[in-house]
């Protein structure tokens, strides 16, 4: 069974928003510029991930591979993630829906849809929803070389 077919079958058991929608049809190879070609293209329906839960923030793992983790986080009004850090990573948080607040080392930074903040994972962070409607963000963690 090809890696693409076996991966497709495995993905059929994932929630709808976490199932990639398409793949390339040929195997991986490095082009002249060193960029991989033929790697599967994973496409996620982030709108389907937007599911505010009154019991707490809703986290959905989208990508988990060496050096890269991507999470979709939905928060109902008043919800927040615990204060934490991610040593050895660079962090980017992109606003997708509504307005979130990124608490960073004691300072609050408003984050609206279509905005992005980037910072060192050494800093203490807590994504929060302090406005009146639901909010969603995309969190990307990139592991630093040697970490």
Q: What is the pLDDT of residue 38?
A: 64
Domain ranges of the chain: 1-44, 46-147
pLDDT digits (tens, 9 = 90+) for 28-44: 455 555 565 666 788 88
**Three-state DSSP class for 8?**
helix
Could you please state the CATH topology (level 3) that the domain comprising 46-147 is classified under.
Answer: Jelly Rolls (2.60.120)
- The 3-class secondary structure across 60-111, one letter per residue, is EEEEEECCEEEEEEEECCCCECCCECCCCEEEEEEEEECEEEEEECCEEEEE
Residues in a beta bridge with 69: 64, 141
Please give the model's pTM, rounded to 2 decimal places: 0.75
pLDDT digits (tens, 9 = 90+) for 125-143: 999 999 999 999 999 999 9
Low-confidence spans in the chain with pLDDT less than 50: 1-16, 19-28
Instruction: Count CB neighbours of 104 within 10 A.
Output: 18
């Amino acid at each position: 069974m090809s890696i693409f077919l076996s991966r497709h079958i495995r993905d059929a058991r994932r929630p709808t928003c976490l199932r990639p929608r398409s793949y390339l049809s040929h195997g991986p190879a490095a082009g002249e510029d060193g960029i991989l070609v033929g790697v599967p293209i994973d496409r996620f329906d982030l709108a389907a991930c937007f599911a505010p839960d009154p019991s707490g923030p809703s986290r959905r793992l989208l990508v988990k591979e060496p050096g890269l983790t991507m999470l979709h986080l939905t928060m109902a009004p008043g919800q927040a993630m615990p204060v934490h850090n991610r040593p050895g990573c660079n962090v980017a948080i992109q606003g997708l829906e509504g307005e979130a607040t990124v608490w960073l080392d004691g300072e609050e930074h408003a984050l609206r849809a279509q905005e992005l903040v980037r910072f060192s994972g050494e800093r203490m962070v807590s994504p929060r929803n302090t406005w009146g409607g639901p909010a969603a963000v995309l969190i990307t963690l990139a592991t630093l070389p040697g970490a």
